[in-house]
Amino acid sequence: MEGVCAVGSAGPDVPERVAAAERCAAVAGFGFSCAPEVGRLLRLAAASKPGGVMAESGTGCGVGAAWLHSGLIGDARLFTVERDQDLARRAAGVFADDDRVRVLTGDWRLLERHAPFDVFFCDGGGKRDDPQLVVELLAPGGVLVLDDFTPSSGWPPRYAGAVDELRVFYLTHPALHATEVLTTPTESAVLAVRRS
Ligand SMILES: C[S@@+](CC[C@H](N)C(=O)[O-])C[C@H]1O[C@@H](n2cnc3c(N)ncnc32)[C@H](O)[C@@H]1O
């Protein structure tokens, strides 16, 4: 499914599978897919781990997974989990032709049995409810991507008038090298690598 399609995504070089997942989301009325700016980060992270094991919590309709998929090299694999059965079924259809991708249905902790991960896009389950386990599921050198933060100048980061303790947790975790990057003028992502 190679090709370029600008449907629903800004910028060049949008894989056809991402466009297919975006169409799937539109049909399902699902409005929480990752932005293309985050998608390109996911592709970059996946492509940095040839033969690696990628994971995503919260598949939605498969947009983020399709971006990760576009960066898979060699026999790299992708496990993505979605607790909403209907969404999981729709997303599985997007990857029906590639057995390197497994769409799991259920709670994000189903991912545990497939860890450690070389890339983990934690986007639905885990990020807030068990951040320590999120870190533990990373392989040494594994890359963690967390999106949907609101940029905050200065330290510590603040959100809604209070210190954003969750962001502080990831940015200062002793097992991680972490930073925060703008993905759009109004959104940021935390990127981290697990120390060896
Ligand atoms: C932000 S959306 C995911 C978007 C998707 N990652 C993408 O980039 O296109 C979050 C998804 O996580 C799912 N979710 C929330 N909590 C979950 C959990 N504990 N286990 C599995 N999925 C969960 C929701 O049903 C929702 O579909």
Over residues 13-66, the pLDDT tens digits come to 899 999 999 999 999 999 999 999 999 999 999 999 999 999 999 999 999 999
The answer to whether position 4 is within a domain reads no
The answer to whether position 5 is within a domain reads no
Edge-to-edge strand order for the sheet containing 138-149? 101-105, 77-82, 53-57, 117-122, 138-149, 187-194, 176-184
User: What distance in Å separates the CA atoms of residue 48 and residue 118, rounded to the nearest whole number?
Assistant: 9
- Which residue matches tokens 């790299």? 76
The answer to whether position 24 is within a domain reads no
Prior bond to 156 cis, omega within 30?
yes
The answer to whether position 23 is within a domain reads no
| pLDDT surpassing 50 at residue 7 | no
The answer to whether position 117 is within a domain reads yes
Ligand 1 mean position to 6 CA, how many Å? 24
Asked if 119 contacts 45 with a C-beta cutoff of 8 angstroms, the reply is yes
**In 3D, which of 140, 158, 141 has the Cα closest to residue 149?**
158
Three-class SS of residue 115?
coil
Q: Name the closest-CA residue to atom 13, ligand 1.
A: 58
Length of the chain: 196
The answer to whether position 12 is within a domain reads no
Best probe residue, ligand 1, of 84, 87, 107 (max atoms within 8 Å of C-beta): 84
Ligand 1 mean position to 88 CA, how many Å? 10
Q: Residue type for 95, please?
A: F
Q: Name the closest-CA residue to atom 15, ligand 1.
A: 124
The answer to whether position 14 is within a domain reads no
Which residues, 6 or more positions from 162, have their beta carbon under 8 angstroms from its beta carbon? none
Ligand 1 mean position to 124 CA, how many Å? 4
Confidence of residue 196 (pLDDT cuts 50, 70, 90): confident
Mean pLDDT of 5-10: 41
Domain of residue 121, residue span: 34-194
Element (H, E) at 179: strand 176-184
Q: What is the pLDDT of residues 96-107, one digit of tens each?
A: 999 999 999 999
Q: Residue type for 138, please?
A: L
Q: What is the pTM of this model?
A: 0.95
Number of structural domains (the chain) is 1
pLDDT of residue 10: 58
